[in-house]
Structure 1
């Protein structure tokens, strides 16, 4: 157990967050229990976060900022804290997502992490490993905060039809996930197209990838294997993947057509069925 008096704020973003939470709480003259009562969390949870034993959430941070008059400090820190909890090999990807002005993604059999609901993300992350599942789910969802930026990146997603039909987490989870995709139908910053089964062979058969574009830096292509990521700015690779993405978008259904297919799958595969 980490003793609060020897917590080193320079040890990690999580330790720094805990140090600042405790400093602001004590300056406000509140006990952990009193602060917990104000922000509607337990005093025990406040203590665990102060001692870097528990991850804070954006909601917790916002409430504590308001209660302690911290001027948004904890809310600014929480993104750094959650990003630091990603696997080391994936942290660079989260940084690319945060800096990019445009992200083009192709995934054939799973909904991209930036579009996942909490229940869907939890089902994906819980496969083969359920340790610290709540925290790992929160860390994944934190990446979606880029959608809330004043100037969010332009997002383009081509999803294989299998991503709509692969039942991850059960019918209720999938129904919620597809409804979440439809919520972006009229969002000009989030564009979702479905590559239907009827297309047959296509430019993405070599596997899923993400293409990150920046205002001044070179574009980067990111591919992923089991437990490792492969970012590259090689001009030949970037050019090839950009061309492939153009072909994938051309082969995919239009944005309205994709929304219609999502509705159809949602109704036919995950709708309510009467009990026999």
Structure 2
């Protein structure tokens, strides 16, 4: 009889240990369980020993049903999935799940929390670490699952600043992009979500080339996360977070005010925004201040950002 692995060594080991215990309790051999979920028996052996490829979400779901696990394996799967990411990435995802406020700037692509499934699939399909169609669907499912936070009772306030390039790059083709922009306009109608666009004519800025996310946690502490094409950096040092918060506030002040931003998104979606005249920066600032004062406390500050309050519906 194979020796059971130590479940404390990793999340994959814990998952494998639970599969083995449930299988034995059900009186099934590895071959019998494999037939139930339509995989080879060696795949069950790999899962139970936490070796080889990690289980996919669909496999976790099939195992859960076959072993009557009452969603235990499905609930464990996200932790197994995250284990493949670097420590700083796992820490960021853990912080994001608890954040009461998320402020984000993206230079090239739509934030994951606001992506349609088709947009996410097109984007993730070009990942350098992608190993196949099954892994692609697994990553798409994980991204869509994270969006459930935006409709949860404890949903965070989300403020995103999008570079104009995000609107103009037709990820997935024009039809997919049209639906993505339509979805973005719908998201922006939510009282807990604010969207701004940073137009090309603003020129250079200190966060060019990647994305910046600022998270406010329930205890009031803040962390920052910067990400490029193939790297990411989590920042927890308060002085560094304050510096990045100031950079974000400057971007927010330079961007089009929320209502103007929605007009621009709508115009790009309709294919009419080519060389349209944009108001001057001073005019934008006046409109931004008026809108932010009317929105019940979402004021821009020159220094450290504050957690925004819900805006009342008009």
The aligned counterpart of 1:273 is none
**CA–CA separation in structure 2 for the residues paired with 1:82 and 1:257:** 40
The aligned counterpart of 2:12 is 14
Output aligned runs, 1:96-245, within 5 Å: 96-127=95-126, 129=128, 131-134=130-133, 135=135, 138-139=138-139, 142-143=142-143, 145-149=145-149, 150=152, 151-200=154-203, 204-205=207-208, 208-216=211-219, 218-225=221-228, 227-245=230-248
State the Cα distance separating 1:75 from its structure 2 match.
2.8
CA 1:67/1:128 → structure 2, altered by over 3 Å: closer, same or farther?
closer
CA 1:249/1:13 → structure 2, altered by over 3 Å: closer, same or farther?
same
Alpha-carbon contact 1:21-1:50 (below 8 Å) kept: no
Alpha-carbon contact 2:109-2:166 (below 8 Å) kept: yes
CA 1:14/1:216 → structure 2, altered by over 3 Å: closer, same or farther?
same
Larger radius of gyration: 2
The aligned counterpart of 1:74 is 73
Instruction: Structure 2: give runs of 5+ residues left out of the alignment.
Output: 48-52, 273-314
Deviates more, 1:101-110 or 1:69-78: 69-78
User: Matched residue of 1:111: which SS?
Assistant: coil
**CA–CA separation in structure 1 for the residues paired with 2:184 and 2:3:** 46
The aligned counterpart of 1:40 is none
The aligned counterpart of 2:39 is 44
Q: TM-score, normalised by structure 2?
A: 0.66
Alpha-carbon contact 2:119-2:180 (below 8 Å) kept: yes
Output aligned runs, 1:53-64, within 5 Å: 53-57=53-57, 61=60
**CA–CA separation in structure 2 for the residues paired with 1:211 and 1:62:** 33
The aligned counterpart of 1:272 is none
Output one character per residue of 1:28-58: Cα deviation in whole Å (capped at 9) or x when no partner. 467436743xxxxxx218974673335332x
Alpha-carbon contact 1:113-1:140 (below 8 Å) kept: no
Aligned pair partner of 1:263 in 259, 263, 266:
266
User: Matched residue of 1:51: which SS?
Assistant: helix
CA 1:250/1:103 → structure 2, altered by over 3 Å: closer, same or farther?
same
Output one character per residue of 1:104-132: Cα deviation in whole Å (capped at 9) or x when no partner. 11112222233334443344344473641
The aligned counterpart of 1:85 is 84
User: Matched residue of 2:224: which SS?
Assistant: strand
State the Cα distance separating 1:207 from its structure 2 match.
5.1
**Aligned-pair Cα RMSD in Å:** 3.6
Output one character per residue of 1:127-173: Cα deviation in whole Å (capped at 9) or x when no partner. 47364144256346525544424423322211111101112333233
CA 1:204/1:97 → structure 2, altered by over 3 Å: closer, same or farther?
same
The aligned counterpart of 2:279 is none
**CA–CA separation in structure 2 for the residues paired with 1:217 and 1:200:** 33
User: Matched residue of 1:8: which SS?
Assistant: coil
Return structure 1 stretches of 4+ with deviation > 6 angstroms: none
**CA–CA separation in structure 2 for the residues paired with 1:266 and 1:45:** 47
Alpha-carbon contact 2:196-2:256 (below 8 Å) kept: yes
How many equivalent residue pairs?
Answer: 259
State the Cα distance separating 1:208 from its structure 2 match.
2.9
Alpha-carbon contact 1:121-1:137 (below 8 Å) kept: no
User: Matched residue of 1:268: which SS?
Assistant: coil
Alpha-carbon contact 2:167-2:268 (below 8 Å) kept: yes
Output one character per residue of 1:65-86: Cα deviation in whole Å (capped at 9) or x when no partner. 4664433312321221121122
**CA–CA separation in structure 2 for the residues paired with 1:7 and 1:189:** 47
